[in-house]
């Protein structure tokens, strides 16, 4: 994720720069084996999004198709919302607060609005200028806190530098904290026997993806790369809650490769393109790549393309299952936001 990109930048920037020019292998025509979720049926899929990978690399990994699973989840949510509207007239609502004019944030917010629309969630928006005060942001949060049509409030991160993130996230009612970033929700996530009202969307999406592909977590060794508040730390807590033995690797870790190589499950949220090489992985490991790193690409319309933290073409020869970027964790994040908003509406209206 973009917001976690500082985690490794100190010690790995040099390495990642060296790795950036993606090595293109020969044009062996080999097809990627795609397994459908919850089935062992192997099918050859010539998905255009993965065509280049499928044509140039020999893959033994199962692809954890976040885009596909997210679509299923969104359909489930849309169905449930239809039912609720019909029987109660209640329309779940999500408010998004965007401060400043970062291009990437604007794109994310636009995508969230569209995703809400598609499933029948009403969206509310506050767009504030870069130089507005913390008080101004908090005023908008308070209005959404007391608006009964709003069941979820999301403050798009990162906030402008002059703002105290904790102070602002603290202002969101924990009952509407669909991002799960309120200190109380995070605190509860960290405590045995306590339940947060909301779990942060990206790590929740990672877990849901593992769950839908029936990947066992209990008793497994898991390594989380990165320790950001929005991904790495909550991902480690969720894995631990699912009874994995968890190690967090970060920018001060002495031998990240050796430690990562012991993991049955790797969740990488470092924000460094191609940090995790094939040699970092134990054969058969399950790899969830949270990184969304832009790399220059003159051949693409936007001038860049997105790559993960994991060197996909190497990893897919070693891992038993892996998420692609794009089309992996990203779409799951949005699906979890919709899911959190729906469950918030249900809780606030005491629906089953
Ligand atoms: N309060 C807050 N909550 C967030 O959840 C939050 C945030 N702030 N700030 C920024 C990050 C980033 N994030 C993404 C969500 C979806 C995709 C996504 O769907 N990505 C597509 C690719 C999209 C493209 O091609 O541009 C994919 O991976 O397939 C990416 C990134 C949520 N974030």
Q: Specify whether 206 is located in the same domain as 323.
A: yes
Alpha carbon of 27 to ligand 1 centroid (Å): 32
Alpha carbon of 108 to ligand 1 centroid (Å): 6
Has residue 311 been placed in a domain? yes
Has residue 345 been placed in a domain? no
Where among 173, 196, 219 does a domain terminate?
196
d(CA 51, CA 45): 9
- Give the model's confidence band at 209: pLDDT under 50 very low, under 70 low, under 90 confident, else very high: very high
User: Ligand 1: which atom is nearest the Cα of residue 306?
Assistant: 25
Has residue 140 been placed in a domain? yes
Where among 196, 226, 259 does a domain terminate?
196
User: Ligand 1: which atom is nearest the Cα of residue 104?
Assistant: 10
- Single out the catalytic residue among 62, 112, 204, 220: 112
Q: Residue 58, SS3?
A: coil
> Which residue's CA is the closest to the ligand 1 atom numbered 10?
157
- Facing residues of 307 across strands? 293
For the chain, the average pLDDT equals: 87
Question: Domain count of the chain?
Answer: 2
Q: Specify whether 204 is located in the same domain as 189.
A: no
What average pLDDT does this structure show over 197-213?
A: 98
Q: Specify whether 205 is located in the same domain as 321.
A: yes
Which residues span the domain enclosing 184? Answer: 90-196
Which of 85, 91, 79 is CA-nearest to residue 345? 91
- Facing residues of 268 across strands? 225, 289
pLDDT computed for residue 332 by the predictor: 98
Q: Specify whether 210 is located in the same domain as 121.
A: no
The token pair that represents 157 in the structure block? 């991160």
User: Ligand 1: which atom is nearest the Cα of residue 201?
Assistant: 5
> Which residue's CA is the closest to the ligand 1 atom numbered 17?
330
Where among 176, 196, 216 does a domain terminate?
196
pLDDT computed for residue 58 by the predictor: 60
Q: Specify whether 315 is located in the same domain as 242.
A: yes
- Asked whether the predicted pLDDT for residue 36 surpasses 50, the reply is no
- Single out the catalytic residue among 65, 176, 177, 179: 179
Q: What is the phi/psi pair of residue 76, to 5°?
A: -60, -45
Q: Specify whether 205 is located in the same domain as 186.
A: no
Share of the chain above pLDDT 70, in %: 83
Q: What is the pLDDT of residues 263-311, one digit of tens each?
A: 999 999 999 999 999 999 999 999 999 999 999 999 999 899 999 999 9
Q: Specify whether 174 is located in the same domain as 211.
A: no
The token pair that represents 349 in the structure block? 């209206």
d(CA 339, CA 211): 15
CATH of the domain at 127: 3.40.50.10860
Length of the chain in terms of residues written: 352
- Facing residues of 128 across strands? 99
User: Please, are residues 268 and 225 in contact by the beta-carbon 8 Å criterion?
Assistant: yes
Has residue 18 been placed in a domain? yes
The single residue listed with the structure tokens 């070693």 is: 318
User: Please, are residues 4 and 232 in contact by the beta-carbon 8 Å criterion?
Assistant: yes
Q: Specify whether 65 is located in the same domain as 213.
A: yes
Q: Specify whether 13 is located in the same domain as 103.
A: no
Q: Residue 185, SS3?
A: helix
Mutate to test the pocket of ligand 1, among 333, 335, 337 (most ligand atoms within 8 A of CB): 333
- Report the DSSP pairing between strands 221-225 and 265-268: parallel
Contacts of 244 (CB under 8 A, 6+ apart): 217, 218, 219, 220, 221, 222, 265
Q: Concatenated DSSP letters for 126-160?
A: EEE-TT--HHHHHHHHHHHHT-TT--EEEE-SSPP
Which of 105, 176, 181 is CA-nearest to residue 147? 176
Residue 82 designated active-site: no
CATH of the domain at 205: 3.40.50.720
- Asked whether the predicted pLDDT for residue 49 surpasses 70, the reply is no
pLDDT computed for residue 352 by the predictor: 86
User: Please, are residues 305 and 325 in contact by the beta-carbon 8 Å criterion?
Assistant: no
d(CA 161, CA 171): 18
Q: Residue 235, SS3?
A: helix
pLDDT computed for residue 241 by the predictor: 98
CA-to-CA separations, 288 to 31, 142, 202, 254, 256, in angstroms, rounded: 22, 36, 11, 22, 16
Residue 30: Cβ within 10 Å count: 12
- Give the model's confidence band at 59: pLDDT under 50 very low, under 70 low, under 90 confident, else very high: low
- Asked whether the predicted pLDDT for residue 326 surpasses 90, the reply is yes
Q: What is the pLDDT of residues 122-176, one digit of tens each?
A: 999 999 999 999 999 999 999 999 999 999 999 999 999 999 999 999 999 999 9
Q: Specify whether 65 is located in the same domain as 205.
A: yes
Has residue 36 been placed in a domain? no
- Report the DSSP pairing between strands 293-296 and 245-249: unpaired
- Asked whether the predicted pLDDT for residue 74 surpasses 70, the reply is yes
User: Please, are residues 81 and 117 in contact by the beta-carbon 8 Å criterion?
Assistant: no
- Asked whether the predicted pLDDT for residue 109 surpasses 60, the reply is yes
d(CA 86, CA 80): 10
Alpha carbon of 202 to ligand 1 centroid (Å): 8
ipTM of the complex: 0.97
Alpha carbon of 172 to ligand 1 centroid (Å): 20
d(CA 174, CA 198): 8
pTM attached to this predicted model? 0.86
> Which residue's CA is the closest to the ligand 1 atom numbered 12?
1
Has residue 45 been placed in a domain? no
Q: Specify whether 286 is located in the same domain as 314.
A: yes
- Asked whether the predicted pLDDT for residue 56 surpasses 50, the reply is no
- Asked whether the predicted pLDDT for residue 345 surpasses 60, the reply is yes
Q: Specify whether 142 is located in the same domain as 284.
A: no
Alpha carbon of 292 to ligand 1 centroid (Å): 8
d(CA 280, CA 300): 30
- Give the model's confidence band at 232: pLDDT under 50 very low, under 70 low, under 90 confident, else very high: very high
d(CA 36, CA 207): 17
């Amino acid at each position: 994720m973009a917001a976690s990109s500082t985690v490794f930048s100190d010690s790995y920037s040099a390495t990642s720069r060296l790795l950036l020019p993606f090595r293109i292998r020969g044009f062996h025509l080999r097809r990627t084996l795609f397994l459908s979720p919850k089935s062992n049926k192997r099918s050859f899929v010539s998905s255009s999004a993965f065509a280049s990978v499928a044509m140039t690399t020999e893959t033994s990994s199962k692809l954890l198709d976040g885009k596909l699973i997210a679509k299923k989840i969104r359909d489930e949510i849309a169905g449930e919302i239809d039912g609720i509207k019909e029987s109660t007239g209640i329309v779940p609502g999500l408010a998004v607060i965007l401060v400043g004019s970062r291009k990437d944030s604007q794109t994310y917010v636009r995508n969230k609005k569209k995703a809400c629309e598609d499933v029948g969630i009403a969206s509310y928006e506050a767009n504030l200028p870069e130089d507005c005060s913390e008080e101004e942001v908090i005023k908008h949060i308070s209005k959404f806190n007391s608006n009964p049509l709003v069941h979820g409030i999301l403050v798009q991160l990162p906030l402008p530098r002059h703002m105290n993130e904790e102070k602002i996230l603290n202002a969101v009612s924990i009952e509407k904290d669909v991002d799960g970033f309120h200190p109380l929700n995070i605190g509860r996530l960290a405590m045995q026997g306590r339940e947060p009202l909301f779990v942060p969307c990206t790590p929740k999406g990672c877990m849901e993806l593992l769950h839908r592909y029936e990947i066992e977590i209990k008793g497994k060794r898991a390594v989380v790369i990165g320790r950001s508040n929005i991904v790495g730390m909550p991902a480690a807590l969720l894995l631990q809650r699912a009874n994995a033995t968890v190690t967090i690797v970060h920018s001060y870790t002495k031998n990240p490769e050796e430690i990562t190589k012991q993991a049955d499950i790797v969740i990488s949220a470092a924000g460094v393109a191609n940090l995790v090489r094939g040699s970092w992985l134990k054969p058969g490991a399950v790899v969830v790549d949270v990184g969304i790193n832009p790399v220059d690409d003159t051949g693409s319309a936007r001038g860049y393309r997105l790559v993960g933290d994991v060197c996909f073409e190497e990893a897919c020869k070693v891992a038993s299952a892996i998420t692609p970027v794009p089309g992996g964790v990203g779409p799951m994040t949005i699906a979890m936001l919709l899911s959190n908003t729906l469950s918030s509406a249900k809780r606030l209206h005491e629906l089953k």
